[in-house]
Amino acid sequence: MLSQALTHPSADERNNRRLEYLGDAVLELVASDYLYRSQEEALEGGLTQLRQRLVQRATLASVARDVDLGRFLRYKGADLAPDAPAHEAMLADALEAVFAAVWLDGGIGPAAAVFEKLFAQRLKTVADLPRDAKSVLQEYLQGRGFKPPQYHLAGSRDDPQTPFFRTMCKVPELSLSAEGEGRTIQASEVEAAAAVLAAVGESP
């Protein structure tokens, strides 16, 4: 499973795409558990923001670099080399896949232990990061009694070397919608949220 977790879709049909899917959920769970236990004074909104920052792509890629995960990745193509823009996404995806492998092999205990070892020191750093557009939009809507925004994938290019996603962000109660594009679903959602914020005169 570890070998599969470190195999990018460009290198082999038996790659980390499915493990990445599971690892995303595993990270959400162990991050939520860790924050619930370690941040006793934090309210729901604050915990949600901290979790989002801990599991966002930039943080995952940074943690992956800390443990030199890139040295063990299997991939093909210059577009995925360490100095290429897509390399950060590949690192983040691989770390998610590794968490899935740990979960499948040992369950929540080992997964939680690995998370605490790798992410505990990140908490102070991410707490000071600027909020992304998705967080700002959700707070803007919640503060006015509206429901959270709806995100829908409007298009994609499933190419391991040059991925592309287009997402629609809708706020039915304000009759607003906007599209965003990016190399990951998260990036396209952030861009779409920023466009909605711009429409209501707010900024991230």
CATH no. for residue 58? 1.10.1520.10
> Residue with structure tokens 């102070």?
124
User: Measured in whole angstroms, how far is the alpha carbon of residue 184 from the centre of its chain?
Assistant: 9
Please name the helix (run of DSSP H) or strand (run of DSSP E) that holds residue 168, with its range, or none.
Answer: strand 164-171
pLDDT in tens, the chain (204 residues): 999 999 999 898 899 999 999 999 999 999 999 999 998 887 777 788 788 888 988 889 999 999 999 999 998 887 677 767 678 888 999 999 999 999 999 999 999 999 999 998 888 777 655 567 888 888 889 888 899 899 999 998 877 667 789 999 999 999 999 999 988 888 899 899 999 999 998 866
Cα–Cα nearest to 137, from 49, 58, 56, 25: 49
Give me the catalytic one of 96, 132, 189, 191. 96
Residue 53 lies in a domain: yes
Pure H helices in 69-158: 86-106, 108-119, 122-127, 133-142
Catalytic (active site) residue 96: yes
Number of domains in the chain: 2
Catalytic (active site) residue 181: no
Q: How many CB atoms lie within 10 A of CB 186?
A: 22
**Residue 172: per-residue pLDDT:** 93
Query: Structural domain of residue 168, as residue ranges?
Result: 134-199
Give the CATH number, domain containing residue 160. 3.30.160.20
Give me the catalytic one of 20, 24, 93, 189. 24
Terminal CA-CA length for the chain: 39
